[in-house]
Structure 1
Amino acid sequence: MYKKLFVLVAVLTFVLSTVSVGMAQDKEGNKAVADKVTSLVATAKKAIKTVPADAVKKAIDAKEKAIYLDVRDGGEFAAGHLPGAKNISRGTLEFKVAKEIPDTNAKIYVYCKTMGRSALATKTLNDLGYKNAVLMNAKYEDWVKAGYPVER
């Protein structure tokens, strides 16, 4: 009886320690990836032009011939977006942009929820030859908090 109990405790100890080590490694791995993503976004931001949200609002108010590109996912876009915005999610941008925005000289204001996806998207657009793609230097929620117009 004690032998079975000892074996059971030994097996449980082994399993729990293995799982704990795996979880610790996973957290370290996730942090390493998160740090790399943060670095990618920071590098992209250094390489692109940015404009403040109030400049984007002025462009909308002036009916400037421009594209307001929301690179969030469809559900986020449906919940609210800048007036007249076009939605191409960051995950499909490279595959859809040539068809959706054929003019590489178009003025494009790019935004998202946190400026991460939009920074990467703006850099990608510039790399693809879209010379006038700029990052709106504000989070979408900052736009909303400022009382700027939103469409749903």
Structure 2
Amino acid sequence: MARRRANNSQKENVMRTKYAVFMVFLAMLGIMSVGCVEQSADKYRVFENSKVLIEDLQARMPQLSVKELQTKLENEEEFTLIDVRTLKEFNSGSIPGAVHISRGLLEFQVEKEFPERTEEIVIYCQKDGRGLLAVEALMRIGYQNVKNLEGGWTAWKDDSFKDAVDGIHHHSDDGGGC
């Protein structure tokens, strides 16, 4: 009988140990899944519409004013200026020295043409939308010094520096609009 109690006691200890290990496993699984949900929610935040998305990017992405860009150009600072509008928009007028890479091809072409990820890059589009999306995309693929031209081409040509604009007498109301 004493032997049976010892066997039962050993079985109970084994069962308790298995139960404890199982509970620890469940707790860790729960902690890991919460972390994945939080990470996934941050990584793939859903916005009500494109306007709200752009407003969020305006608050988070680095930007450069037209006056700051003009100063950089006047001082002949080294940086790359990329116009992400359509080719038709670009051909209607562009900021002097700009390189054209349309928004849809940017991530694929920029690595070939500008492999140095610490180089300063200024992006612009018609207004802000495509430029901000482009800045975010470049930052996601490792570019560290990228800024959006606040207000884009519209702000540039409407500013007092409009005499410096190529093709200023042309208007580009078609394409993107953002």
Range of TM-score over shorter length: 0.7 to 0.9
In 2, Cα distance between equivalents of 1:100 and 1:39: 32
- Is 1:96 aligned to residue 109 of structure 2? yes
Look up the match of 1:71.
84
Alignment partner of 1:106 is 2:119: yes
- Aligned AA for 1:89? S
**Which residue of 1 is the match for residue 135 of structure 2?**
122
Q: Which structure has the bigger radius of gyration?
A: 2
CA distance in 2, matches of 1:57, 1:64: 10
Identity %: 30
* Residues 52-88 of structure 1, C-alpha deviations (whole Å, 9 max, x = no match): 1100010011111001111101111111111110111
Q: TM-score, normalised by structure 1?
A: 0.73
Match of 1:151 among 166, 171, 177: 166
2:131 counterpart letter in structure 1 = S
Would you identify which runs of 4 or more consecutive aligned residues in structure 1 move more than 4 Å?
none
CA RMSD of aligned residues (A): 1.6
Normalised by the size of structure 2, how large is the TM-score?
0.63
Q: Is the 8 A contact 1:47 1:123 kept in 2?
A: no
> How many residue pairs are counted as aligned between the two chains?
119
Q: 1:106-141 CA distances to partner (integer Å, 9 max, x unpaired)?
A: 111111101000000011111111110001112312
Residue 81 of structure 2 corresponds to residue 58 of structure 1: no
Partner of 1:134: 147
**Is there any run of 5+ residues in structure 1 with no aligned partner, and where?**
1-34
CA distance in 1, matches of 2:156, 2:56: 24
Confirm or deny that 1:47 pairs with 2:53: no
Unaligned runs of 5+ in 2: 1-47, 168-178
Measured after TM superposition, the shift of residue 41 of structure 1 is 1.7
